[in-house]
Amino acid sequence: MSYLYDLWDDFISLLFPRLCYACGDHLMRNENLICTECYVVIPRANYHKEDDNPVARLFWGRCKIEKAAAFSYYTKDSRIRNLIHNLKYNGIREIGFELGRIYGSSLKESGFISDIDLIIPVPLHPAKRRIRGFNQSESISMGISDAISLPVDINSLVRKTGSATQTKRSRYDRWTNVDGIFQVTETMSLSGKHILLVDDVITTGSTIESCTNELLKIEGVKVSVVALAYAIV
């Protein structure tokens, strides 16, 4: 019976090949989303193992962030870049969950998350969320949550929509200026908490800075940050 099943499985994969979302090679039967080679080859930044790291340094003198880290880093045509592209633009949200789960276990092992209370994904603009159907940072957060057993809060921090000041700005300004575009809707449940803010990619850090500034307005709040990748500009 299992032989027949395997045969059927092979037949199906001939018609609908399952490919690795990082390198495009065929996946083996026991592989899912990412092939074994890519798991090994994708560079781990290991920033969570040292307080002084490139992502943490990005926020020095800008906003008070307790700890900051990224799972990997972007290089040209890197496999992690392909994964994040497939997650964001091809709607493969399972990639976010899977990478989040893997990173979450490392974060737990190192003690990085030992005093974290809850996880908040960087909110996506509602219009973008409608088009994409999901928020990729939320998928990553769910994976991390699965590994570290802490709740994900997707309601307390929101992205404001079409405020007067936003629409008056030039298109370029709207892309580059993220200051004041986030809003905290719930302060009671967050007061005194250490929040783990989760993003897909950190480039200039301005989105994280803007979220953090809003969150730090709540009494006693502390913020730490993780992302799947750090894009070196």
Minimum Å gap between C-beta 63 and Zn ion is 37
Minimum Å gap between C-beta 101 and Zn ion is 18
Minimum Å gap between C-beta 42 and Zn ion is 9
Touching Zn ion, residues 119-148 (CB under 5 A): none
Phi, then psi, of 23 in degrees rounded to 5: -120, -15
CA angle 72, 77, 83 (to 5 degrees): 55
47 to 86: interface string for Zn ion, x by CB under 5 A: ----------------------------------------
Total site size for Zn ion, rule CB under 5 A: 5
Q: From CA 69, how far away is CA 14, in angstroms rounded?
A: 40
Minimum Å gap between C-beta 21 and Zn ion is 8
**Distance of CA 158 to CAs 90, 123, 124, 130, Å?**
24, 6, 8, 14
Q: Which is nearer to Zn ion, 198 or 229 (CB)?
A: 229
Among 38, 65, 157, 215, binds Zn ion (CB under 5 A): 38
- Which of 22, 72, 69 has the alpha carbon at shortest distance from 44? 72
Minimum Å gap between C-beta 70 and Zn ion is 20
Q: Which is nearer to Zn ion, 38 or 58 (CB)?
A: 38
33-41, 112-120, 151-159, 184-192 -> range binding Zn ion (CB under 5 A): 33-41
Q: Which is nearer to Zn ion, 102 or 113 (CB)?
A: 102
Q: Which is nearer to Zn ion, 38 or 229 (CB)?
A: 38
Among 35, 87, 120, 227, binds Zn ion (CB under 5 A): 35
Minimum Å gap between C-beta 123 and Zn ion is 31
Q: Which is nearer to Zn ion, 98 or 138 (CB)?
A: 98
Q: From CA 86, how far away is CA 63, in angstroms rounded?
A: 31
How many C-beta neighbours within 10 Å does residue 53 have?
A: 18
Q: Which is nearer to Zn ion, 38 or 223 (CB)?
A: 38
Using the rule CB under 5 A, is 20 a contact of Zn ion?
yes
Residues near Zn ion, by CB under 5 A: 20, 22-23, 35, 38
